Amino acid sequence: MDPALLLFLSIGILTVAILYSCVGHGGASGYIAVMTIFGLSPMAIKPTALVLNILVSCIASIHFYRAGYFRSSLFWRFAVTSIPCAFIGGYFVLPAYLYKYIVVLILWFSAIQLFVRPVMQSHAIRIPSVHLCLLVGAMLGLLSGLIGVGGGIFLSPLLILMGWAGNKETAAVSAFFILANSSSGLLGYVNGSHVLPPFALNFAFAAVSGGLLGSYLGSRHLPVMSVQKILSVVLLIAGYKVLFA
C-alpha cells in the first residue's frame, strides 16, 4: 500500500476510534466509511473493520466495566443469539454494489439515531422481555457479520429509546456486545476460507491508541451526548461521500 495512503487511513482510523470509543462503540461503521472513501474493496474492508472493532471494543469494555456501568444480565439477553448469527453472517461476502448501499444506509441510520438519542434517567429504566431480546439479538448478529460491524450502533439507540438502559450503561453493554459479535463475525469470515488483508494489522496501533484515549474520556469525563452529536455529523458526511464516490 502507498505510504501516503497508509498515513491518511491511519489518521482517519485514529480519529474514528477516539470518537466512537467515547460512547462504547468499536467504530466499525466509521472505519468502513474511511476505507470506502479511499477506495478499498469490500473484501478488504469487512475483515479489517472487524479486527479494528475487536481491538477498540475490548478496550472500551474494560474501561466501562471498571467504571461500574456494565449490566451482564442485559448483555446476555441479546448476546446468546447474536453471537452464533454473527458467525453465520461473517461466513458470507456480499456483492460490492449491494455492500455499498447497505453501508450508506447503516451510516445514515446511525447518524440519525445518535443525534436524536435522549438522555435516559435511571429511574425510568425498564426490563425488556427475554424473548424479544433473543429475537433482536439474532437479527443484529446476522447483520453485524454480513457487513463487518459489531451491531452496537443499532443496539445502543434501541436500549435508550426503549428505556432499557441509561446512557453510560448502554455504552458498557454495547462495548461488550460489539466485542462478542465482531469476534464471532471474524471467525466466520476466516472459516469461510477468506484471508485477512496484509495491511489489517497495520492500522492496529492507530485504533488502539484512539480506543485507549476515547474510552477513558468517555467512561469518566466527557458527556456522552456531545460526542454523539459530533459523530452523527461525521457519519452523515461519510455516507454522502460513500454514495457518490
Q: What is the pLDDT of residues 90-143, one digit of tens each?
A: 888 778 778 878 878 877 887 787 777 655 455 457 888 999 999 999 999 998
Query: Does 69 score more than 60 pLDDT?
Result: yes
Q: 13 to each of 85, 154, 209, how far by Cα in Å?
A: 27, 21, 10
**H, E, C per residue of 198-237:** CCHHHHHHHHHHHHHHHHHHHHHCCCHHHHHHHHHHHHHH
Query: CA–CA separation, 96 vs 56, rounded Å?
Result: 26
Dump pLDDT digits (tens) for 203-229.
999 999 999 998 888 777 767 677 667
Query: Does 190 score more than 60 pLDDT?
Result: yes
Q: Has this prediction a pTM greater than 0.85?
A: no
Domain residues for the domain of 202 are 3-243
What integer is the mean pLDDT of 30-41?
86
Report the pLDDT value the prediction gives residue 61, as an integer from 0 to 100. 92
> With contact defined as beta carbons under 8 Å apart, do 143 and 89 qualify?
yes
Domain count, the chain: 1
**CA nearest 187: which of 103, 89, 94?**
89
Report the pLDDT value the prediction gives residue 81, as an integer from 0 to 100. 96
Report the pLDDT value the prediction gives residue 76, as an integer from 0 to 100. 94
Residue 160, phi then psi, degrees to nearest 5: -75, -50
